[in-house]
């Protein structure tokens, strides 16, 4: 069995384009949703429909579709219940909840980053619909590695050739390149046996498990120069982030996210996640950290 007809909701963000490209390459039929006032564009071959994300509107869009892929931002995580209800009403077989990041099964992670709770709640809600014929998959990826490095989230500044090193830099973390996430979804939708194996499952993937110090050393090796570092204390950054969020500055969540990704507050090595990594089961290609860094530096 394969799931050939897929609705992608929120496909114009940081992750969406990479997923859409991989699904198109796999021959999957994509319908992308966007709001009426959105200026988002999609590649040729993608059917684009507008919606206000109301139940009735979504039911109409979801009819005849095999799967719905929710790629929502923080403000929209709580809207997934309506999407799940619409998917059940329309007879959708599989709903991909809007995970794609830290392992929200960990209550410490949800407690630290409050907007992760709706992610977890969406999975629990999807579970409650299993008896009505809906299946679900939640994909855990850790930080988006290539995107995070380009944007400075991983600590290195690729333009200034400097780096922030959190709590000594030796804490292991896993991250996944954007295209790899797309390949994983394409495999889940189309590979023999994988559709069934991933039914009602958390699926954990990773391009690399590394440390900030390993990344820093490789960047210095590739460029042949020293990258000055700034030591960062995660406890101090967590407090800063909490104060910022309490004052209405949601960007403060970034400091908390980094602290939990690199500061050893939780086990960020996804090979230790419940069920381990699914890379081999999904047939994902092996990736080379140094080659990825070289490519990003050359971009």
Cβ 222 vs Cβ 293: under 8 Å:
yes
pLDDT digits (tens, 9 = 90+) for 125-141: 999 999 999 999 999 99
97 and 44 in a common domain: yes
pLDDT digits (tens, 9 = 90+) for 88-118: 999 999 999 999 999 999 998 898 888 889 8
Residue 281 resides in a domain: no
What angle do the packed helices 80-90 and 117-127 form, to 10 degrees? 20
Residue 280 resides in a domain: no
Residue 277 resides in a domain: no
Is 26 in a helix, a strand, or coil?
coil
79 and 16 in a common domain: yes
| Structure tokens belonging to residue 108 | 């410490």
196 and 153 in a common domain: no
185 and 77 in a common domain: yes
pLDDT digits (tens, 9 = 90+) for 250-282: 888 889 999 989 998 889 999 999 999 999 999
Cβ 202 vs Cβ 140: under 8 Å:
yes
Cβ 167 vs Cβ 140: under 8 Å:
no
CATH of the domain at 190: 3.40.50.720
234 and 195 in a common domain: no
The C-alpha angle with vertex 103 and arms to 101 and 105, in degrees rounded to 5, equals 140
- Please identify which residue in the block is written with the tokens 């200034």: 160
124 and 187 in a common domain: yes
pLDDT digits (tens, 9 = 90+) for 238-251: 999 989 988 988 88
Residue 275 resides in a domain: no
Helices (H), 116-225: 117-127, 145-151, 178-190, 194-197, 212-223
Instruction: Supply the pLDDT for residue 75.
Output: 66
Residue 256 resides in a domain: yes
Give me Rg for the CA atoms of the chain.
19
14 and 136 in a common domain: yes
| Residue numbers of the domain that contains 85 | 5-143+176-204
| Distance (Å) of CA 291 to CA 155, 161, 195, 205 | 19, 18, 31, 19
Domains in the chain: how many in total? Answer: 2
- In whole angstroms, give the CA distance from residue 164 to residue 183: 31
Residues paired with 163 in a beta bridge? 156, 229
Q: Which of 199, 176, 185 is nearest to 270 (CA)?
A: 176
Cβ 133 vs Cβ 88: under 8 Å:
yes
105 and 22 in a common domain: yes
Of 160, 184, 204, at which residue does a domain stop?
204
Q: Which of 176, 20, 9 is nearest to 76 (CA)?
A: 9
256 and 126 in a common domain: no
The C-alpha angle with vertex 263 and arms to 151 and 271, in degrees rounded to 5, equals 85
84 and 217 in a common domain: no
182 and 44 in a common domain: yes
Instruction: Supply the pLDDT for residue 252.
Output: 85
The pLDDT of residue 78 is above 80: no
- In degrees and rounded to multiples of 5, residue 292 shows phi and psi of -65, -45
CATH of the domain at 237: 3.90.25.10
Of 204, 222, 251, at which residue does a domain stop?
204
Is 34 in a helix, a strand, or coil?
strand
Is 115 in a helix, a strand, or coil?
helix
DSSP, res 164: E
189 and 62 in a common domain: yes
Q: Is the pTM of this model over 0.85?
A: yes
Q: Which residue did the predictor score with more confidence, 204 or 255?
A: 204
């Amino acid at each position: 069995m394969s799931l050939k007809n897929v609705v992608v909701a929120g496909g114009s963000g940081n992750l969406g384009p990479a997923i859409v490209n991989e699904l198109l390459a796999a021959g999957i039929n994509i319908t992308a949703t966007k709001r009426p006032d959105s200026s988002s564009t999609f590649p040729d071959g993608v059917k684009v429909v507008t919606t206000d994300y109301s139940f009735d509107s979504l039911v109409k869009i979801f009819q005849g579709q095999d799967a719905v892929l929710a790629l929502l931002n923080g403000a929209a995580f709580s809207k997934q219940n309506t999407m799940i209800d619409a998917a059940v009403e329309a007879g959708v077989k599989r709903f991909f909840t809007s995970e794609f990041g830290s392992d929200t099964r960990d209550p410490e992670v949800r407690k630290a980053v409050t907007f992760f709770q709706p992610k977890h709640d969406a999975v629990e809600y999807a579970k409650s619909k299993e008896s009505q014929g809906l299946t679900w998959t939640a994909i855990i990826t850790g930080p988006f590695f290539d995107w995070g490095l380009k944007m400075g989230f991983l600590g290195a500044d690729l333009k200034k050739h400097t780096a922030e090193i959190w709590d000594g830099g030796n804490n292991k973390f896993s991250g996944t390149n954007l295209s790899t996430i797309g390949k994983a979804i394409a495999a889940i939708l189309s590979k023999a046996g994988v559709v069934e194996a991933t039914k009602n499952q958390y699926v954990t993937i990773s391009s690399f498990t590394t440390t900030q110090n390993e990344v820093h050393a490789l960047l210095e090796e590739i460029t042949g120069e020293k990258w000055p570092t700034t030591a960062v204390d995660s406890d101090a950054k967590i407090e800063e982030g909490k104060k910022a969020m309490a004052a209405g500055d949601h960007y403060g969540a970034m400091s908390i996210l980094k602290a939990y990704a690199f500061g050893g507050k939780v086990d960020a090595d996804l090979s230790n996640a419940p069920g381990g990594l699914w890379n081999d089961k999904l047939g994902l290609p092996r990736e080379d950290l140094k080659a990825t860094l070289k490519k990003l530096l050359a971009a």
